[in-house]
Amino acid sequence: MPAAEGTAPLAVILDQAGLDGLLTAIRAKGWRTIGPRVADDAVIYDEIETVADLPMGVGDEQKGGYYRLKARGDQALFGYTSGAQGWKRVLYPPRQKLFSAKRTASGFTIDPMAQPDAPLALIGVRACEMAAINVQAKVFGDKDFADPGYQGRLKGALIVAVECTRAGDTCFCDSMGTGPEVGTGYDIKLVEMVGKAGVTYVATAATDKGAKLLKAAKGKPAAEADLAAAAKAVKAAAKQSRKMETATSAKLKDVPEHARWDQVAARCMTCGNCTMVCPTCFCTTVEDVTDLKGDHAERWRKWDSCFTVDFSYIHGGAIRTEVRSRYRQWITHKLSTWHDQFGQAGCVGCGRCITWCPVGIDITEEVAAIHDSTKGRK
């Protein structure tokens, strides 16, 4: 039932019971609901069933090399900013079996992997994360060689976005143009309104399947004023302490010999944390395993990081032996050459690389340093 032209998209107000009803409706339709929950002192995205699984009253504090949960003293379910890791964990798992092979009398046979089970419902996708999902969809959706796993999981997925009403200290989506308002790709969008009277959700459907589910959740229709209040609350999250100099960052490929690379190399530990938590980093390696008899073999694809020496190894030695070359590769790809490859930046401004860097290297600060040093030069 597509909305008639000119009519506003379906928008309702849900309380937390209504939100629970929405989750129930989603699960009843066969989606596996993945959403935020607290584990190991962090917000992670994992299997959830009801609203009771969500991180109630949990906020977070993030800064360079620092992540702590803290109690908000309210009933908010989405009171944190972004989870420790993005959604690539579910859409492009860290370990994926590519195929298994069996030795036969005349050689071997290859058995492709069966395609995944239940479709996923992603609950609580932030604007930056939605942008990251779209970035990866481009990477894995090449016209010649698409990744059927990612494509299949995304195509079958239901996406419930949550717009932020507060920015974390490491956030810079506003300067990347990826938030706090969520872009395209979601089915339902929520804005969590925390008031004296309790917590409510302004829920808007963007697709037919989203609208059907919202109807099933039985909220009361949202008024103009509700929508305006929600939009205003989201605007507040655009106030961010960090910003990316995007004009300079897009041109990093032009300064491969900049002195700043040595400076940052002196701090970078090449641990690869930034690449693991980055919601768009897509590099992988492969691993071959066999059983002890050598009759059964498997090929696995695993997340990899351009910060390892092995990453660039060809016979005779690695290409990028120095730390400066590896950091330069990561940030130049993310911010600059990604434009040439995919028509946009590979960074969505989520700030995870800053939060999870053990020494607090800040991608925006590195670009700013290069920006300042090249100002006025053409």
Partner 1 sequence: MTAVPRDPMLPVLFRIEKVRRDLSDTFTMELVPEAGGEFSFKPGQFNMLYVFGVGEIPISISGDPGDRSVLVHTTRAVGAVSSALDSLKAGDQIGVRGPYGTAWPIESAYGQDVVFVAGGVGLAPLRPAIYHAMNNRERYGKVMVLYGARTPEDILFKKELERWRGRFDMDVLVTVDRATGKWSGNVGVVTNLVARGGFDPLHTTAFVCGPEVMMRYGASALEKKGVARDTIWISMERNMKCGVGLCGHCQWGSHFVCKDGPVFRYDSVADLFQVREL
Nearest-CA neighbor of 248 among 260, 262, 264, 240?
260
In angstroms, what is the minimal distance from the CB of 375 to partner 1? Answer: 23
CA distance 28 to 199: 25
Nearer to partner 1, 24 or 344 (CB): 344
Cβ atoms of 83 and 44 within 8 Å: the answer is: yes
In angstroms, what is the minimal distance from the CB of 158 to partner 1? Answer: 17
The vertex-170 CA angle with 168 and 176, nearest 5°, equals 100
What are the structure tokens assigned to 185, written together?
Answer: 């790709």
In angstroms, what is the minimal distance from the CB of 78 to partner 1? Answer: 32
What residue type is 153 in one-letter code?
R
What are the structure tokens assigned to 293, written together?
Answer: 């008899």
Nearer to partner 1, 103 or 166 (CB): 103
Residue given tokens 């995919």 in the structure block: 342
CA distance 368 to 260: 10
Nearer to partner 1, 9 or 112 (CB): 112
Nearer to partner 1, 328 or 352 (CB): 328
Alpha helix stretches (DSSP H) within 257-351: 260-265, 273-277, 323-332, 338-342
φ/ψ (deg, to 5) at 84: -60, -35
Nearer to partner 1, 172 or 282 (CB): 282
Nearer to partner 1, 175 or 329 (CB): 329
Which residues bind to partner 1, rule: CB under 8 A? 98-99, 101, 103, 106-110, 112-113, 115, 139-140, 142, 144-149, 151-152, 155, 253, 256-257, 282-286, 288-290, 294, 297, 299, 301, 304, 306, 311-316, 319-322, 324-325, 329, 333, 337, 340-341
What are the structure tokens assigned to 328, written together?
Answer: 């330069």
In angstroms, what is the minimal distance from the CB of 112 to partner 1? Answer: 5
In angstroms, what is the minimal distance from the CB of 63 to partner 1? Answer: 29
In angstroms, what is the minimal distance from the CB of 179 to partner 1? Answer: 25
Nearer to partner 1, 112 or 198 (CB): 112
In angstroms, what is the minimal distance from the CB of 146 to partner 1? Answer: 5
Nearer to partner 1, 152 or 185 (CB): 152
In angstroms, what is the minimal distance from the CB of 284 to partner 1? Answer: 5
CA distance 219 to 203: 9
The vertex-93 CA angle with 265 and 183, nearest 5°, equals 80
Buried b (16+ CB within 10 A) or exposed e, 46-84: eebeebebbbbebbbebbbbebeeeebeeebbbbbbbbb
Cβ atoms of 261 and 324 within 8 Å: the answer is: yes
CA distance 152 to 28: 21
The packing angle between helices 148-156 and 127-139, to 10°, is 140
Nearer to partner 1, 107 or 221 (CB): 107
φ/ψ (deg, to 5) at 131: -60, -40
In angstroms, what is the minimal distance from the CB of 113 to partner 1? Answer: 8
